[in-house]
């Protein structure tokens, strides 16, 4: 049987992997000791030159289906891992068939939920993880994606200005529709609550928590926050004809949540006394796109919002309000952001993404200024943060410690 590789942009180095060996037997020099999420399949993280991939063994039809689904979700600009290839036609040294393999690009600076707790995250951060799950689920539902297996184990988390952004890594059970019925959305939420409740019990055991995490309250939080966000993004709002300012207020509220609005359905009654509006949300990333247009920086949306706020502070402190905003942003980039990030020593550049370092320096500066009783220079704060905080953090881009995440 001939080895077959299906890929959009094939990496020739994929051919050098030991495809005639079962994945569970792979070791050096291919396997990278990165944390892995729980999986019903055998999964390994491998390095090929400067690139890192997650490899999952599965049935060929399922691998091809998930590969195509992830590509579709990528085209919709949803937060997922990037599919690289499907390898089929594998046989071992005796000619016995081996499972097909799905390769996805490793998401840098991301961690499975269980590994987060070995990297400075505490149980107090769990509501932020739930919020990240809620935003991901709502985004998927807005585009007509039915997940079918919502769980913490099927996502990776990246830090985002003190919070988190969730990325889907397992689309095996997913379906794309023109739109989802309320029943399909409700079923995804129900499955998510059940799975996450079980995962929280496992987390309690892993962390040795005698008092527990309050799993019932956390899953109730997930359901209530999902419903609240869905209503905010899609719900109808009625007001009188002398309250038209509420249209702009609704748009600003959605922008504050990070969503852009494609259009508004506006309906008036016969006499024009009542106005009914319903937004059509495009996608998350309002601040992300704004920052990228001003500076070229591509970061998570929460990080973008924090950097935009800092650009606004920079503008006000230097009385540059009359200047072109893009020129001011470029000046901020050259005078503040780039020099500050350049202060991070090479051995610490795998600990946090640059935008997250900048966010943490801003937080650190606030604490230093409060303690000193006056505003501390941002570069002074950066030096103190790097020396006393950043250098003590564990690696998150590439880490040498293996966390027991995979049951196989």
Mean pLDDT of the 304-320 span: 92
Name residue 268's beta-bridge partners: 275
Predicted local distance difference test score (pLDDT) of residue 276: 73
Report d(CA 127, CA 361) in Å as an integer. 23
9 CB-contact burial (10 Å; exposed 0-12 / middle 13-18 / buried 19+): exposed
Predicted local distance difference test score (pLDDT) of residue 372: 92
Enumerate residues 6+ apart whose C-beta is below 8 A from 388: none
Predicted local distance difference test score (pLDDT) of residue 55: 94
- Angle of CA points 213, 217, 219, to nearest 5°: 95
Percent of the chain with pLDDT over 90: 55
- Phi, psi (rounded to 5 degrees) for 21: -110, 135
| Contact yes or no for 60/132 (Cβ under 8 A) | no
Report d(CA 264, CA 279) in Å as an integer. 4
Mean pLDDT of the 308-330 span: 92
Higher pLDDT, 221 or 213: 221
Q: Is the peptide bond before 29 cis (omega within 30 degrees of 0)?
A: yes
- Lowest mean pLDDT: which of 124-128, 180-184, 239-243, 351-355? 239-243
Predicted local distance difference test score (pLDDT) of residue 193: 94
Structure confidence at residue 1 as a pLDDT band (50, 70, 90): low
Indicate the average pLDDT of the chain: 87
In this structure, what token pair is assigned to residue 58? 């599965």
pTM for this one? 0.80
Higher pLDDT, 262 or 117: 117
359: closest CA among 343, 380, 374, 337?
337
Predicted local distance difference test score (pLDDT) of residue 404: 35
In this structure, what token pair is assigned to residue 68? 């195509």
Report d(CA 282, CA 308) in Å as an integer. 21
Report d(CA 63, CA 404) in Å as an integer. 25
283: closest CA among 318, 254, 305?
254
Predicted local distance difference test score (pLDDT) of residue 370: 92
pLDDT tens digit string along 184-212? 999 999 999 999 999 888 888 877 776 66
Predicted local distance difference test score (pLDDT) of residue 113: 87
| Kind and range of the H or E run holding 54 | strand 51-58
pLDDT at 183 exceeding the cut of 60: yes
Report d(CA 173, CA 67) in Å as an integer. 12
pLDDT at 74 exceeding the cut of 60: yes
């Amino acid at each position: 049987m001939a080895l077959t590789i299906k890929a959009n942009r094939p990496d020739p180095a994929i051919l050098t992997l030991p495809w005639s060996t079962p994945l569970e037997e792979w070791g050096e020099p291919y396997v990278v000791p990165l944390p892995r999420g729980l999986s019903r399949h055998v999964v390994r993280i491998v390095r090929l030159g400067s690139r890192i991939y997650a490899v999952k063994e599965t049935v060929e039809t399922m691998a091809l289906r998930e590969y195509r689904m992830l590509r579709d979700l990528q085209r919709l600009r949803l937060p997922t891992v990037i599919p690289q290839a499907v390898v089929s036609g594998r046989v071992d040294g005796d000619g016995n068939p081996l499972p097909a393999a799905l390769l996805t690009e490793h998401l840098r600076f991301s961690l499975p939920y269980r590994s987060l707790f070995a990297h400075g995250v505490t149980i107090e951060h769990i509501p932020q993880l739930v919020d990240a799950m809620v935003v991901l689920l709502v985004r998927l539902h807005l585009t007509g994606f039915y997940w079918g297996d919502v769980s913490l184990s099927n996502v990776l988390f990246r830090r985002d200005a003190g919070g988190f952004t969730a990325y889907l890594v397992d689309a095996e059970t997913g379906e794309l529709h023109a739109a989802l019925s309320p029943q399909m959305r409700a079923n995804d939420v129900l499955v998510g609550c059940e799975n996450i409740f079980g995962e929280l019990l496992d987390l309690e055991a892993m962390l040795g928590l005698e008092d527990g995490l309050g799993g019932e309250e956390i899953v109730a939080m997930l359901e209530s926050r999902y419903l609240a966000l869905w209503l905010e993004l899609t719900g109808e709002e009625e007001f009188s004809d002398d309250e038209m300012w509420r249209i702009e207020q609704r748009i600003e509220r959605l922008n504050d949540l990070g969503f852009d609005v494609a259009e508004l359905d506006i309906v008036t009654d016969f006499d024009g006394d009542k106005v009914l509006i319903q937004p059509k949300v495009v996608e998350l990333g309002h601040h992300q796109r704004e920052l990228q247009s001003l500076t070229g920086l591509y970061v998570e949306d929460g990080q973008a919002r924090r950097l935009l706020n800092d650009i606004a502070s920079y503008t006000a402190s230097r009385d540059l309000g009359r200047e072109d905003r893009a020129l001011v942003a470029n000046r901020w980039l050259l005078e503040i952001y780039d020099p500050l990030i350049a202060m991070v020593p090479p051995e610490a550049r795998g600990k946090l993404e640059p935008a997250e370092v900048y966010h943490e320096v801003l937080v650190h500066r606030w604490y230093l200024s409060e303690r000193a009783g006056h505003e501390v220079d941002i570069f002074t704060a950066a030096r103190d943060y790097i020396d006393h905080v950043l250098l003590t953090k564990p690696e998150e881009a590439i880490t040498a410690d293996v966390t027991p995440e995979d049951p196989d």
